[in-house]
Structure 1
Amino acid sequence: MAIKIVADSSCDLTAEMKAEMKVDLAPLVLYLKDKAYVDDENLDVQQYIQDMAQCEESPKTACPSPEDYIKKYEGHESVFVVTLSSKLSGSYNSAVLAKNIFLEEIGNKFIHVFDSLSASVGETLVARKIHELSKHNISDLEIVDKVSSYIKEMKTFFLLESLEHLAKAGRLSPLVAKVASVFSIKPIMCGDEGAIKLFEKVRGYKKAFMRLVETIGEKGKDFEDKVLGIAHCNCLDKALQFKEEVLKRYNFKDIIIVEMGGLSSTYADEGGIVIAF
């Protein structure tokens, strides 16, 4: 069946995935002081990470406008939209407003907006699920039902080298970030109904890394039916090492690795890893 998947640029994809799933990305705009960076395929993420490290002020982000989304909704196909958690960004509200305007003013068609309750590779897995289901002979509403259940069950965790950017952006208490830095505590963070919360504090990166691997076993089940997504910010070696450790313990149906785009890098910062399953 002919469908179109639209996502915001927090949905981290390889070029192959983007082509195969035909995902149309609505870019967020990232700001360092007065300089704006459009988070699309033309963004030099490595350069952006360097610029971010040198910028004294906290990075700011702007979600896609309703107009940006309306353009993506054009065409005859049914449209499924995947956005960042509505607790982290205005992207979801913007996509819903665009849907309402489109249906009122432009034309009647099927559009559904999913709040991923996640970010980065969590969105990637949701988009992938929509794509897989579209290959079966099921209705648009059945896809909505199955993907909504998938989102509710999905777990997102992340391990960051530094909490500075999360704190600067107001996503985390600056005091927590400072204490973590002083005592070389590496917090494992998790998604909690779309918000970010501290899951566990571990001293030292190696221990935290292995603890994240263990957490999969504690929080997940039926791995043979699931896909593990790993997103990394400029640290492919860590992502590959993580995959290796996971393969020793769990039999996931598939494991995918993606590099973070600009938006995910803004919060994860260099060396950050996000996993979802």
Structure 2
Amino acid sequence: MGCRIVADSSCDLSDELKEKMDIGLVPLKIDTENRSFIDDENLDIHELLTAMKDSEHGVKTSCPSPNDFLKEYEKSDNTFVVTLSSKLSGTYNSAVLAKNIMSEDNDKFIHVFDSKSASIGETLVSMKIFELIQKQYDKFDIVTKVEQYIDEMKTFFVLDNLDNLIKGGRLTKIAAHIASFLSIKPILGSDGDGDIKLYDKARGSKKVFRRFVEVVGEEGSDFENKVLGIAHCNAPEVAYELKEQFQEKYHFKDIIVVETAGLSTVYANDGGIVIAF
């Protein structure tokens, strides 16, 4: 039955990538004050954003059950799974538990990758797996190369609104204070182990995005052999303007732009930008 990629719904994909890679997406659940959403292809992002704005007490998300993953594992003899950071969600543990349950009854190959990221970071990990499958690498070589890719990947983001990250316990109150003081906007990123840290800050949107572009040069290298991913929440103009700036300055092998799906929308919030490379 070949190899197949499965990811949770934090893996943000364009229509082109969905068609090309045929990834099995396992949805998370999103609960606002008055509505519940399943993060699948039927979710309307604008309805979710409206419901989020109307929720005074924050938004809650629920990871998929092991049974949700089992349904996807049954579709292939060899499955590579990508989840959002285990430091941010129980999704990784759910995927691993499903793997252990499946392994009791058969000899299917299943490997679960902790992306140590989310959103476009998961997308890039999935793309790397797909690339290696297409090149017909051995499945164990794929595991080794993708784990190395995850360890070297950088993820950064700038958000207009930090409320859901704060209320969800995924951002320290110190960073929240900085964000609300004198229009200072933080540049946040992965700490290398899948948790969120404050990387830098700037006053105002123009300065923070200028600094955002500089950060890539400070933190990255060998751009000609790397793909940069940009995910945006209802902010296509900002995303494509950033794409042009990255193209002019760093000459990446490729730069892709995608819209955030439901889970990423919850935490990126309206106007949020996430990059990974």
Same fold (TM over 0.5): yes
Structure 1 unaligned spans of 5+? none
Alignment of 1:217-232 (within 5 A): 217-232=217-232
Partner of 1:65: 65
Partner of 1:55: 55
Distance 1:22 1:200, change over 3 A: same
Partner of 1:22: 22
Partner of 1:267: 267
Partner of 1:199: 199
Secondary structure of the structure 2 residue equivalent to 1:40: coil
Deviations 1:208-255 (A, max 9, x none): 001010111110000000000000000000000000111110110000
Partner of 2:82: 82
Q: d(CA) in 1 for partners of 2:96 and 2:207?
A: 42
Partner of 2:147: 148
- Structure 1 residue 15, shift from structure 2 partner: 1.5
Matched to 1:188, the amino acid is: I
Deviations 1:104-159 (A, max 9, x none): 03x21110000000000000000000000001132100000000000000000000
Distance 1:76 1:54, change over 3 A: closer
Matched to 1:226, the amino acid is: K
Secondary structure of the structure 1 residue equivalent to 2:50: helix
Q: d(CA) in 1 for partners of 2:126 and 2:133?
A: 11
Partner of 1:238: 238
- Structure 1 residue 58, shift from structure 2 partner: 1.0
- Structure 1 residue 34, shift from structure 2 partner: 5.1
- 2:185–2:203 Cα contact (<8 Å) kept: yes
- 1:230–1:239 Cα contact (<8 Å) kept: yes
Moved over 3 A (4+): none
Q: d(CA) in 2 for partners of 1:118 and 1:22?
A: 21
Q: d(CA) in 2 for partners of 1:33 and 1:64?
A: 20
Alignment of 1:178-217 (within 5 A): 178-192=177-191, 193-217=193-217
Matched to 1:126, the amino acid is: V
Matched to 1:116, the amino acid is: S
Count of residues in correspondence between the two structures: 276
Q: d(CA) in 2 for partners of 1:234 and 1:137?
A: 37
Secondary structure of the structure 2 residue equivalent to 1:98: helix
- Structure 1 residue 57, shift from structure 2 partner: 1.0
Structure 2 unaligned spans of 5+? none
